[in-house]
Structure 1
Amino acid sequence: MSFAIGLAAGCFGGLIGLGGGIIMVPLLVELLHLDQCRAHGTSLVVLIFTGISGGISYGLHGQVDWKAAVLLAVPAMLLAAAGARLADRLPDWKLKKIFGAFLIFCSALLLLKPVLADWIGVLPDAVSDIALVATGAATGFLSGLMGIGGGTIMIPAMILLGGFTQHIAQGTALLVMVPSGFVGAFTHWKLDNVAVELLFSMVPGIVLGAFAGAGIAQFIPEAPLRWMFVLVAVYMGWRYVKVVSPDTC
């Protein structure tokens, strides 16, 4: 079962540029009965391998922007540990509601990309760089907190503020998940929030799935990929918005 979860999450993540945490976390909780925090921590560990395999696949097709990757990864690494520590102590239902609303907002922005791109225009390099740094900081914190890779935040920001194509945004986001995910995963591991016994079957599944998903993505035009991303992000956001339980991690 854990191999199948990893395979599905990896294929899905590689296809649309996400780590797959939005699939892994619910499945780990519902099917394998992990508590929320252990699901978050375990997901982050596995997502490192999604980023490696998916990032390599996109990189071989020249679909990684290295400058953007650095601007996103450095602040993400600095704040990932803080997010992971908060996940171990604070009630997460309010944060999930806020994050869910944010995802839906990002999806709306992405759908309006043609109009917004004309309105925003081409940002000066300095402004674009600052926006990417801020995005990286938010990504790292929320990645550690929610147990996700952060592609749901990075991809819309890179497309709208950096002018990147969907494929390059996805490839770069997958690569950034490696260093930021490592920091968050290590913090969760120290807090005993990682189900180590599941990793031996989940990691091979997610590596195979990520390579397959990233390969399939090369044959799908940009517009359908964007719609796939939007549908997933809206679904994830709606699930978070509906959370009412005051349970803590």
Structure 2
Amino acid sequence: MIGIGLIAGMSGSLVGLGGGFIVVPALAFLFPELPPSQLAGTSMAMLLFNSISSTYVYSKQKRIDYPAAIRFALVAIPGSIIGALLATMITGKAFFVSFGIFLILVALLLLFKPTKPIAWPFRPTVQRSFADQTGFRFDYAYHMPTGIIVSFLVGFLASLFGVGGGSLMIPTMTLLLAFPAHIAVATSMLQIFLSAIVSTGTHAFLGNIDWMMVLFLAPGAIIGGQIGARIARRLPGQLLLKILSVFLIIVAIRLMFSGG
């Protein structure tokens, strides 16, 4: 459990997903008797600890767009509550197959994404310009209503499947909202942390969390989150997105195989 948490925390923080895409398939493989609701709830509780760790590192690097993360998280929270409630109703096969298809579509989008952000028909409503810890300046503009709408869907899917939600939020931020890759990853992690607080609480209330597993997953996730955030700082933005797409395809195949 500690090893799974370490790998999940490191890889999840590296690409801004939170690590649930590692924990859910791993727990499904080791404990096939666990229902989807337990997989999602336990993974979400681990993500809460992982996101605390990696968000702290990204905040020190000064790469988090705080206004965007807070606004997106406030909209994602209602969706996360609905997702947690519906998690108890979804069957095992439907859970794995639908999530696997979703991840493959996202991975293909990243692998074949255009070199520049998609020309969105709506004019930007927010202008951002700030420098990170190294002094590198990021300048970009985005359409806030688009981010708000997608954030609600992200909160729902993240809580339903027990993942961080970055698999949908990061492509949206980089392709539709024109966020730089590094800012998208860091901002996504803070959003995951904020929405994971409510999502974990809802899963706990519903009895969907195996706290003994979380007790061993969390320490590894905290350490892995620190390592992943520091590695991400040294990687080019495009390489981060390619790493993300490869992870998603591997996990999707694993999930669909489990669903069969």
Pairing 1:1-249 to 2, within 5 Å after superposition: 2-33=1-32, 35=34, 36-91=36-91, 93-94=93-94, 96-115=96-115, 117=117, 119-120=119-120, 123-125=123-125, 128-240=143-255, 245=260
* 2:136 alignment counterpart: none
Structure-2 change in CA distance of 1:6 and 1:118 (3 Å): closer
Q: Could you list the per-position Cα deviations for residues 197-235 of structure 1 after superposition, in whole angstroms to 9, with x for gaps in the alignment?
A: 122222111000000011011111112111001111233
Contact 1:71 1:136 in 2 (8 A): no
TM-score of the aligned structures, taking structure 1 as reference length: 0.88
Structure-2 change in CA distance of 1:128 and 1:110 (3 Å): farther
Cα offset, 1:34, TM superposition:
5.6
The structure whose residues are more often strand, as a share, is 2
Q: Give the stretch that moved more between structures: 96-105 or 178-187.
A: 96-105
Distance 1:95 1:202 in 2: 22
Moved over 6 A (4+): none
Contact 1:71 1:129 in 2 (8 A): no
Distance 2:32 2:21 in 1: 16
Cα offset, 1:244, TM superposition:
5.3
Distance 2:207 2:241 in 1: 37
Distance 2:156 2:195 in 1: 9
Structure-2 change in CA distance of 1:199 and 1:240 (3 Å): closer
Query: What amino acid sits opposite 1:236 in the alignment?
Result: V
Distance 1:157 1:99 in 2: 18
Distance 2:122 2:60 in 1: 28
Distance 2:170 2:149 in 1: 13
Q: Could you list the per-position Cα deviations for residues 67-109 of structure 1 after superposition, in whole angstroms to 9, with x for gaps in the alignment?
A: 2202210111111111111110233544654443333333333
Contact 1:123 1:161 in 2 (8 A): no
Mark the runs of 5 or more structure 2 residues left unpaired by the alignment: 127-141
For the aligned residues, what is the CA RMSD? 2.2
Q: Give the stretch that moved more between structures: 76-85 or 101-110.
A: 101-110
TM-score of the aligned structures, taking structure 2 as reference length: 0.85
Distance 2:30 2:90 in 1: 25
How many residue pairs match? The answer is 244
Identity of aligned residues (%): 33
Mark the runs of 5 or more structure 1 residues left unpaired by the alignment: none
Contact 1:110 1:160 in 2 (8 A): no
